[in-house]
Amino acid sequence: MVTSTVTAGVPNGGVSFWYTQVGLPAPSPPLPGDRDCDVCIVGGGLTGLWTAYYLAMASPGLRIIVLEAEFAGYGASGRNGGWLSAELAGSRRAYATGPHGQAGVDRLAAELRATVDEVIGVCGRYGIDAEIVRNGVVYVARSPAQLERLKAEAEPGGGGRALTAAETRERIAVAGALGGWYDPDCARVQPAKLVRGLARVVGGLGVTVYEQTRVTALGPGRARTPHGTVRATYILRCLEGYTAGLAGHRRSWLPMNSAIVVTEPLGAERWAAIGWANSELLGDNAHAYCYAQRTADGRIALGGRGVPYRFGSRTDVDGITQRRTIESLRTTLARLFPAAADVPLAHAWCGVLGVPRDWCASVGLDPRTGLGWAGGYVGSGLTATNLAGRTLRDLVLGEPTDLVDLPWTNWRVRAWEPEPLRWLGVRGLYALYRHADRREDRGLPRTSRFGHLATTLAGR
């Protein structure tokens, strides 16, 4: 039974607004007892489902089982902001320090760009109507410091280009826009339609998905659940923001919170004031940044960090988010779009994404134990899950492809600090972000020590 509530007059939780559009799925029956298979995938989000899809396509005889605690698409994959973007899931600087150097980072970036079309291609092939519009993303700067950062972070050779203030506003009339950056390799999606569509496709390929089946422990050759144990040659951990809930992984990836509000549909007059005719994705360049989409039915969905982290790596209940997060997102929405300031909010929700200690995503497999994993995408997972799924396929099948030679493959990260240091650290980091953002909003220069520190800590 999925929980929802009403907070500050706004429907809250129920997993996400996206499921009010498609309906919450009736979960399939749990694991009916002990089972044997070739590959056991733990977690039925996009990472797990893409991995299952590519394995089943490459090796149709393979016996694949997916174990999912709730229903496929219950996690971030069914709650996100719908940016199918080419953003690097990790820090360029950090990856470049690895053995693949800068050339490896460039290859990873190019693969992610190509992956946007790979996802769209699969959707087209199987009739997954995820309301996809591939019209790029606009990053807007609303202070001189944000503008400076935007220029510094622009990806060379990515096909993007700088926008003047007038060009930015011509696309999307964001109040106070001083300039922007346009990247063509990004598409808007309706997340629940994408992940549930993929779950349907994977089921049709002979993969068995057991929902309502929480894995309590895993080790070489086995995944244990309250309903029985799955024995498999390969056990792949695809839990992202939920990884810390698994025995032995409490300090692996930190479950970072992100929350979204969505408005009621805007009338023609308001859209005339805002523009946004091409449905580009929209992000700002604050330290505690926000991200937005114009939905297919004419709403604005806007997300941001809210309360970043819960003590002890706890996760939310069915996406229910805090009152102050809703209020803060409402304020951001009104600041960006005064024309939408009095449009009622239709829904609010939140979810968790996985953040490694060095903010770098990874995908890997230990051939000795058969244990594999993928995740830690730090909020840029929608496209990266597909690339990770194809990489896990090649690792499992032992194919020496270009994908298994990307810098994030078998990238190792040290554990997060134990509590209360973990909680204090994240709280401190976000206090710095907000301090730096407040200074920048007031037009103070980014030479603030806090601004530099916040930028550095964010791995940017």
Ligand X SMILES: Cc1cc2nc3c(=O)[nH]c(=O)nc-3n(C[C@H](O)[C@H](O)[C@H](O)COP(=O)(O)OP(=O)(O)OC[C@H]3O[C@@H](n4cnc5c(N)ncnc54)[C@H](O)[C@@H]3O)c2cc1C
Residues that bind ligand X (CB under 6 A): 42-48, 67-70, 74-77, 79-83, 85, 214-215, 238-242, 245-246, 258, 260, 291, 303, 350-353, 375, 377, 379-383, 385
**Whole-number minimum distance, CB 259 to ligand X, in Å?**
6
**Whole-number minimum distance, CB 418 to ligand X, in Å?**
21
Of residues 308 and 370, the one with the C-beta less far from ligand X? 308
**Whole-number minimum distance, CB 24 to ligand X, in Å?**
13
**Whole-number minimum distance, CB 450 to ligand X, in Å?**
26
Of residues 143 and 190, the one with the C-beta less far from ligand X? 190
**Whole-number minimum distance, CB 49 to ligand X, in Å?**
7
Of residues 145 and 259, the one with the C-beta less far from ligand X? 259
**Whole-number minimum distance, CB 412 to ligand X, in Å?**
18
CB 299 within 8 A of CB 333: no
Residue with smallest beta-carbon separation from ligand X: 381
Of residues 266 and 355, the one with the C-beta less far from ligand X? 355
**Whole-number minimum distance, CB 246 to ligand X, in Å?**
5
Of residues 69 and 108, the one with the C-beta less far from ligand X? 69
Backbone angles phi, psi at 58, to 5 degrees: -80, -30
Of residues 43 and 370, the one with the C-beta less far from ligand X? 43
Of residues 81 and 197, the one with the C-beta less far from ligand X? 81
SS (H, E, C) the chain: CCCEEEECCEEEECCCHHHHHHCCCCCCCCCCCCEEEEEEEECCCHHHHHHHHHHHHHCCCCCEEEECCCCCCCCHHHCCCCEEECCCCCCHHHHHCCCCHHHHHHHHHHHHHHHHHHHHHHHHHHCCCCCCECCCEEEEECCHHHHHHHHHHCCCCCCCEEEEHHHHHHHECCCCCCEEEEECCEEECCHHHHHHHHHHHHHHCCCEEECCCCCCEEECCEEEECCEEEEEEEEEECCHHHHHHCCCCCCCCEEEEEEEEEECCCCHHHHHHHECCCCCEEEECCCCCEEEEECCCCCEEEEECCCCCCHHHCCCCCCCCCHHHHHHHHHHHHHHCHHHCCCCEEEEEEEEEEECCCCCCEEEEECCCCEEEEECCCCCCCCHHHHHHHHHHHHHHCCCCCHHHCCCECCCCCCCCCCCHHHHHHHHHHHHHHHHHHHHHCCCCCCCHHHHHHHHHCCC
- Could you give the dihedral angle defined by the CA atoms of residues 333, 46, 11 and 302, in that order, rounded to the nearest 10 degrees? 0
Burial class of residue 237 in the structure, from the number of CB atoms within 10 Å of its CB (0-12 exposed, 13-18 middle, 19+ buried): buried
Of residues 91 and 143, the one with the C-beta less far from ligand X? 91
Of residues 77 and 295, the one with the C-beta less far from ligand X? 77
CA distance 418 to 422: 6
Of residues 145 and 215, the one with the C-beta less far from ligand X? 215
**Whole-number minimum distance, CB 356 to ligand X, in Å?**
12
**Whole-number minimum distance, CB 101 to ligand X, in Å?**
25
**Whole-number minimum distance, CB 438 to ligand X, in Å?**
23
CA distance 89 to 381: 7
**Whole-number minimum distance, CB 100 to ligand X, in Å?**
22
Of residues 128 and 238, the one with the C-beta less far from ligand X? 238
